[in-house]
Amino acid sequence: MRHRVDGRHLGRHTGQRLALYRSLMVSLLRHEKIQTTEAKAKEVAGMAHHLITLGKRGDLHARRQIIAAIGDESLAAKMIDVVGPKYKERQGGYTRITAVGRRVGDAAPMVVLELVN
């Protein structure tokens, strides 16, 4: 039974899955746009929303939580100094998912996940 089981497993063990999410979040926050599968994008979008909300808060505890989540102090500084103030007036909806078609090899639905302006 799948009662109260949340999130997508993506055919990976927990450590692999968390490393994938961290890598995708770092790429999204660094480049502000990534192309990935629909399932991965939907999982990472929620995590990115949480980190951007922490960046909006901008205090020391939020900075440490961002560093713990992504493991990059320079990117955490960017989140607090650049991205947080950019979305200060926005009450959510920091990302956009746009379908771009299907992948050639396995016909997986591909999307572009980007930060909105």
Would you give per-residue pLDDT tens digits along the chain (117 residues)?
889 888 899 999 999 999 999 999 999 999 999 999 999 999 999 999 999 999 999 999 999 999 999 999 999 999 999 999 999 999 999 999 999 999 999 999 999 999 998
pLDDT at site 29: 94
**Identity at 92, one-letter amino acid code:** G
Note if the pTM is more than 0.85.
yes
Closest CA to 39 of 96, 114, 111, 102: 111
Question: What's the CA gap between 67 and 25, in Å, rounded?
Answer: 12
pLDDT at site 4: 85
pLDDT at site 83: 94
pLDDT at site 77: 96
In this structure, what DSSP letter does residue 81 have?
I
